[in-house]
Amino acid sequence: MSKKLTYSIGELAREFDVTTRTIRFYEDQGLVTPQRRGQTRVYTPADRVTLKLILRGKRLGFSLAESKELIRMYQPQGDNRSQLLALQGKIHQRRAQLEQQLRDIQVMQRELDDAEQRCLDALHDLETQ
């Protein structure tokens, strides 16, 4: 099976389940740079990979700026050590944020449980009067 040399905006939108508007937004941000054939945008395999990385970063909770930073660090002929270390650092940061959010949610759940129990106790007291 041969690899495609170019992609239309519609093909990429369908493949990644995003709107064409989303892809145009990433183009406006300078993340993908399609060629033009008249009014038609023509995306390369590199644009496709970039789009895939942006969407993966989004799923992991990275901001667009963070994804952009990581993508720009990529060096096709290099060992990409600095990119990998930066990614690892961002993963650790994101994990720490999620762990803090989980602790905050657990505290909130306990507070809700306590408030609900106070309501139940007060209702019970009203019924027994």
Read off the pLDDT of each residue in 1-11 and give the average, rounded to a whole number: 83
Widest pairwise Cα distance in the chain: 82
Q: Give the pLDDT score at 71.
A: 85
Query: Any idea what the CATH number is for the domain that residue 51 is in?
Result: 1.10.1660.10
* pLDDT for residue 3: 72
Domain, as residue range, for 12: 1-74
Q: Is the pLDDT of residue 2 over 70?
A: no
Residue 85 in any domain: the answer is no
pTM of the model: 0.74
Q: Is position 14 within any domain?
A: yes
Mean pLDDT, rounded, for 2-14: 89
Nearest to 80 by CA among 62, 59, 53, 98: 53
Flag whether 89 is in a domain.
no
